[in-house]
Structure 1
Amino acid sequence: MALSFFSRLPIPASTPYSTERMNRSGRYFALVGLLLGGICAAVYQLFNMGLPSSVSIVMTMVVSLLLTGAFHEDGLADMADGIGGGMTLDKRLTIMKDSRLGTYGAATLMMGLLVKYVTLVELTAITSMVAVWIVGYTTSRAVAASFISTMPYVSDPEGSKSKPLANTQRPGELLFLACCGVLPALFIGIDFTVMVIVLALLFHVLFRHWLLRRIGGYTGDCLGAAQQMMELLIYLALLMYLGQ
């Protein structure tokens, strides 16, 4: 169920759905990232056999967007439009539900993809991209899903585009999610793992504080934005760590 919600990969049509099952699937969000990151790593290696690294990065980013249906990127753009363009809580939530793309969303999405491309190109020169894709995709989804346990869900269930999203999380599920998110970083190094943990905790605290002030909780779009922002932070942290 987590795979079907966060990707376009096919699952058996007989898979049953319920709110409870959706909530329980939240523990596997990081593992979906692990699978997607592994696919992107393989795709990059395939493209890089005959194309320059920069072109291979772009092609892999395209494949990534196809794999997820630009799900998280859409959340980033909608959150930017809603919080950037709305002056009241109701207006912000209404704008987030609007499928049209505004100036704030377009600018944020464009800059986010640009920063991702530039940092990934820089990383190709100093490390194996297999680890980069896997850590970026896995850890960022674990961090994004962790907000489910620390904030209320504020979007209108009837009008939200993300109403099937898990909105409760047990302590054991959060622990499992965190472990899945941290383990891939160990393949890069203990120092980097500690760096990522500190970065993730700092991002969680600051982003949570900002969302509570702006909209009083989170929406599905906010989780998508959190994933994209954390993924970029991981790439930047990798660049700093490996560039030393």
Structure 2
Amino acid sequence: MIKGLIAALQFLTRIPVNISVDFNKKNLSKATFFFPYVGMLIGLIAGIVGYYMRLLGGDEIGAVFAVLALVVVTGGLHIDGLSDTSDGFFSGRSKERVLEIMKDSRTGTFGVVAVVMDLLLKFVIISKLRTSMFIPSLMLASGNARLTVVMLMAYMKNARPGGMGSMFSDSKPQKYFYAALIIYLIVIIFGFGLKFLIPLGIAFITSGLITLKAYKTIGGLTGDVYGANIEICEIVSLFTFMVASIWI
């Protein structure tokens, strides 16, 4: 399982882990187990940076640095997927053409708008979080988003064979999804409280809606859609924490 953890850290983050690991099916399958926990680490780093910058410069400064930390730690990997997905899905073209657009390295208008809205929404929502909820919200929003994508990898059809997305889905990570889900639920319930399950539930619903859109548009999912799913589910989770923070 150590190789799976290393693979998850190397794939999902830019944290320097200078240990060589083959990205074969066995290691990728094991890596999916660690996705939500690596997500929590990403959120923890962003939360700590944002929290102390908030103490120094106020809510807006804290939010700026939290968003910046999310981008730096992940290398903008999922934002790129959101951009490509938006360019393709909103192009109004055929399935084959949409897949071509998503593979194109150039960024179109919809991609730019999606990235701007993604960063702007995160900034606004994070700036509104209560101080006591700041770090937990970022930790669990990042963990929630990556747990939902493991579900997609485990059970949903891939629309583009041969890509990075299909490498994960072809690794058959179903048992690791269930193991990750059970332990993650235990962590939330006993580490945070039952009410913290609400954002996770809404993230799963959001992921289901994204899947329906993807199936309708391209007949399945791709690595770019996985990235878009993570970004959108992070925003939805953060928004739920912001709204519910009054009584959580």
What TM-score, normalized by structure 1, do the two folds share?
0.89
- Which of 159, 178, 185 is the aligned partner of 2:181? 178
- Which of 134, 138, 147 is the aligned partner of 2:139? 134
Partner of 2:124: 118
Partner of 2:168: 166
% same residue: 23
Task: Please report how far the alpha carbon of residue 239 of structure 1 lies from its aligned counterpart in structure 2 after TM superposition.
Answer: 1.9
User: Secondary structure of the residue that 1:50 maps to in structure 2?
Assistant: helix
Distance (Å, rounded) in 2 between the aligned partners of 1:133 and 1:184: 15
- Which of 108, 119, 125 is the aligned partner of 2:114? 108
Partner of 1:87: 93
1:226 aligns with 2:214: no
Partner of 1:147: 152
Distance (Å, rounded) in 2 between the aligned partners of 1:217 and 1:92: 12
Relative to structure 1, the CA distance from residue 185 to residue 123 in structure 2 (aligned partners, 3 Å threshold; closer, same or farther) is farther
Task: Please report how far the alpha carbon of residue 164 of structure 1 lies from its aligned counterpart in structure 2 after TM superposition.
Answer: 7.7
What TM-score, normalized by structure 2, do the two folds share?
0.88
| Structure with the bigger percentage of helix | 2
Partner of 1:2: 8
Partner of 2:241: 238
Partner of 1:196: 199
Distance (Å, rounded) in 2 between the aligned partners of 1:210 and 1:185: 29
Structure 2: unaligned runs, 5 residues or longer: 1-6
Structure 1: unaligned runs, 5 residues or longer: none
The one-letter code sitting in structure 2 at the alignment partner of 1:150 is Y
Partner of 1:29: 35
Distance (Å, rounded) in 2 between the aligned partners of 1:112 and 1:41: 18
Distance (Å, rounded) in 2 between the aligned partners of 1:128 and 1:205: 27
Task: Please report how far the alpha carbon of residue 184 of structure 1 lies from its aligned counterpart in structure 2 after TM superposition.
Answer: 5.2
The answer to whether the 8 Å contact 2:81/2:224 transfers is yes
Distance (Å, rounded) in 2 between the aligned partners of 1:116 and 1:180: 27
- Deviation digits for residues 119-161 of structure 1 (CA, Å, limit 9, x no counterpart): 1111146x4311111111111111122101221122241xx4x
Task: Please report how far the alpha carbon of residue 102 of structure 1 lies from its aligned counterpart in structure 2 after TM superposition.
Answer: 0.5
Distance (Å, rounded) in 2 between the aligned partners of 1:191 and 1:8: 32
The answer to whether the 8 Å contact 1:153/1:219 transfers is yes
The answer to whether the 8 Å contact 1:31/1:180 transfers is no
The answer to whether the 8 Å contact 2:62/2:127 transfers is no
Distance (Å, rounded) in 2 between the aligned partners of 1:184 and 1:197: 12
Partner of 1:217: 220
Distance (Å, rounded) in 1 between the aligned partners of 2:165 and 2:216: 22
Q: CA RMSD in A?
A: 2.0
Q: Map 1:34-53 to 2 at 5 A.
A: 34-53=40-59
Distance (Å, rounded) in 2 between the aligned partners of 1:230 and 1:180: 20
Number of equivalent positions? 239
Relative to structure 1, the CA distance from residue 200 to residue 56 in structure 2 (aligned partners, 3 Å threshold; closer, same or farther) is closer
- Deviation digits for residues 56-95 of structure 1 (CA, Å, limit 9, x no counterpart): 2102211221111101111111100011115111111111
The one-letter code sitting in structure 1 at the alignment partner of 2:216 is R
Distance (Å, rounded) in 1 between the aligned partners of 2:20 and 2:231: 31
